[in-house]
Amino acid sequence: MDPSEPPPTSHPDLAEAVPRLARASVLVVGDAMLDRYVHGRVERISPEAPVPVLGIEREIAQPGGAANVVRNLTALGAAVAFVSVVGDDQTGSELTGLIGGQPGVEPWLLVQGGRTTTRKTRFLAHGRHLLRADREQTDAIEPRLALRLLRIAGDAMAATSATVLSDYGKGVLAGETASKLVACARGMGRQVLVDPSSADCGRFAGADLILPTARELAAATGLPSETDDEIARAAQTLAARHRFGAVMVLRSEIGISLIGPQLARHWRLPEDERQDLFGVTDAVLATLAAARASGIGLAEAGALAALAAESVARHPGTAVARPDDLLARLALAPLEPHPS
């Protein structure tokens, strides 16, 4: 077989959809942060206190938060406009350089003087998390800056096919900013996909698709959200309450569920491949956005997102799912959803 050809798959429709992801143009608005990884080895306990001593071997810095959604979109080949806010500190400068260095990204990183740019430092020993240390500021961005962000985002919406709101609770989408962005996108006929990162889903009322975790879904609706049937009922309640077009639920190591009009699908993560769930939400959101921006149907977009979740969960750290990864996953397993 020609190595340039995709591997054979029992899902030809999905395989044909994968190259279409690179045609997408997506606007991402949300909280940017810097993810720093400190890798090393632990071979002794400190004589000063009963804590491990990490012998540092290497350090890696990557865009995190909403910027990791951008990173996943560019890995799929999509064109991305990114609107966010950083502080006038060293972390903000480093993050701006990392984001601006990615191909296919048009960054609009507004600077707020005196603001602390969010930085998460993870210490890993032998590939396993030992400790995480955060430096952040979570209050809402300045009102004048929020107005400028809305103007820039509105212009970027006109040039893109879908809008992603990635809320990590760090202030960029605080107050009325989220609802105004949803209204603007809907007025332009653009798809809106949201990661709320909290149970406060009402701020995004009217979005086409929202991605709560099972815990956030339960908190938002007051309904049990463990079994497939419970997830479906709670998601339908959430959608009706806030006029969401569909709800995709991130169910930790279990997998993901997609609930929409006349649609209920549940995909399981293989038990032997749940190595690291960090970054799965960003990969799922990016894949969904690229698929919907490319005109791919909701059910097929959900299946592609499930492939992305499987691919990213297999790798430690903040991995991304590329088109070849999705095709490889299709070739490995039948990927049959479990309908309710």
Cβ-based neighbours of 261, under 8 Å, separated by 6 or more: 245, 246
Which is catalytic among the residues 31, 276, 282, 325? 282
Has 282 been annotated as catalytic?
A: yes
Q: Is 161 exposed, middle or buried (0-12, 13-18, 19+ CB in 10 A)?
A: buried
Rounded-to-integer distance, Cα 28 and Cα 26, Å: 6
Contact 27/181 with Cβ under 8 angstroms? no
Cite the DSSP H helix spans in 62-176: 66-75, 90-100, 143-158
First-last CA distance in the chain: 39
Q: Closest Cα partner for 258 from 284, 293, 280, 294?
A: 284
Q: Is the dihedral of CA 25, 68, 213, 333 positive or negative?
A: positive
> Strands 79-87 and 25-30: what pairing?
parallel
Q: Is the dihedral of CA 201, 202, 203, 205 positive or negative?
A: positive
Q: Which residue shows structure tokens 């990590």?
A: 168
CA dihedral 49→51→52→57, nearest 10 degrees, is -80
Please tell me what DSSP assigns to residue 202: G
Structure tokens at 183: 């209204």
Rounded-to-integer distance, Cα 83 and Cα 109, Å: 6
**3 state DSSP class of 248:** strand
Show which residues are catalytic: 282
